[in-house]
Amino acid sequence: MPPDGRPAPDSAETEASLLARAQAGDVGAFERLSGAYADRLFMLLVRLLGDRAEAEDVAQEVMVRAWRGIARFRGQSSDFTWLYRIAVNEANRALQKRARRPAGVSIGAGELELPAAPEEEPSRQAENSELRRALGQALAGLPPPLRTAIVLRDVEGLSTQEAAEIAGVGQAAFKSRLHQARLRVRAAIGDEALVSSGG
């Protein structure tokens, strides 16, 4: 069952029946099962990679890996957690590949900067747009393990247990990464800017 705010497969079929059919080789069932999480998964990749085009490519690879591995998925974790874990692994693999390129392309802070919510007042939008830009730059400057931790916990709003499982580390190690990430982002943005953002 997906946590609050996440879409469930949009049919009367249960996730269990879709999973059983997907594991038997029904690609349509797999698409419906994983398609329910595709938007969130894609945005996770954009945030981790900072590059929308690369995120599109990696998202396709995530689905291929999930499809090939679904027969061995035993449901110890939720299908959402399982897919997210594959996505984090693939994002890390892509970042390692990028780091090995001679002219390493740095992460694009602009891609991590997100549009203002439409219901915000214009003055608030301007302030928050500055803050979003600063947050995007600060996230882009984090080492991947720290970026993954803060994105999973604070942006995605996952529980520590869920986020640690997706990151592939124990909860104590995950918390250590999260706290380091927050301290670095705070230092990069500055207390005045954060406090005046009115959060």
| Contacts to another protein by CB under 8 A | 22-25, 27, 30-31, 35, 38-39, 41-43, 46-47, 56, 59-61, 63-73, 82, 86, 114-118, 128, 131-132, 135, 150, 154-157, 175, 178-179, 182-183, 185-186, 189, 191, 194-195, 197-199
The structure tokens 């499982």 sit at: 165
For the stretch 135-138, contacts whose Cβ atoms lie closer than 8 Å and that sit 24 or more positions apart, written own/partner, are: 135/185, 135/189, 136/109, 136/110, 136/111, 136/112, 137/109, 137/112, 137/188, 138/184, 138/185, 138/188, 138/189
9, 17 contact by CB (below 8 A): no
Q: Which is nearer to another protein, 14 or 159 (CB)?
A: 159
Could you tell me the smallest distance in angstroms from the CB atom of residue 103 to another protein? Answer: 26
Distance CA 103, CA 63 (A): 29
Q: Which is nearer to another protein, 13 or 61 (CB)?
A: 61
Could you tell me the smallest distance in angstroms from the CB atom of residue 128 to another protein? Answer: 7
Q: Which is nearer to another protein, 63 or 103 (CB)?
A: 63
What DSSP state is assigned to residue 94?
H
44, 37 contact by CB (below 8 A): no
Q: Which is nearer to another protein, 8 or 71 (CB)?
A: 71
Could you tell me the smallest distance in angstroms from the CB atom of residue 98 to another protein? Answer: 20
